[in-house]
Amino acid sequence: QVQLVESGGGLVQAGGSLRLSCAASGRTFSRYAMSWFRQGPGKERDFVAAITWTGDSTYYADSVKGRFTISRDNAKNTVYLQMNSLKPEDTAVYYCAARLSTSHYYTELQYEYDYWGQGTQVTVAS
């Protein structure tokens, strides 16, 4: 069982930055591939970024490529999402998700994820 708790959301002006954190419980965090998803107002929940269990491969949605960086610290059981050059369209609830995987395969399919956090709100003002 893995519990995920996101933090770091808030209100920021367009062009600003935020760093989200997702703290995981459990001793097997390092065996989980981790991803961030987001759900904007009135929208479906969409994939944002993923990182493999070792942290040596990362993947991004085209909409955030070059602005967001996903990383992880397995010693701290935490995955991060550094968000720079934020835009109003980045406004959403951001969720982290965990998938038991020790391969470099990644997926944007939400049903393939085993655990989800409760989400943290990010609001970007224009």
Alpha-carbon distance 60 to 18, whole Å?
Answer: 17
Three-class SS state of 122: strand
Q: What percent of the chain has pLDDT over 70?
A: 100
Secondary structure (DSSP) of 56-118: S-EEE-TTTTTTEEEEEETTTTEEEEEE-S--GGG-EEEEEEEEE--SS-----GGG-SEE--
pLDDT of residue 109: 93
By the 10 Å C-beta count (0-12 exposed, 13-18 middle, 19+ buried), 94 is classed as buried
For residue range 34-75, what is the model confidence (pLDDT) as tens digits?
999 999 999 999 999 999 999 999 999 999 999 999 999 999
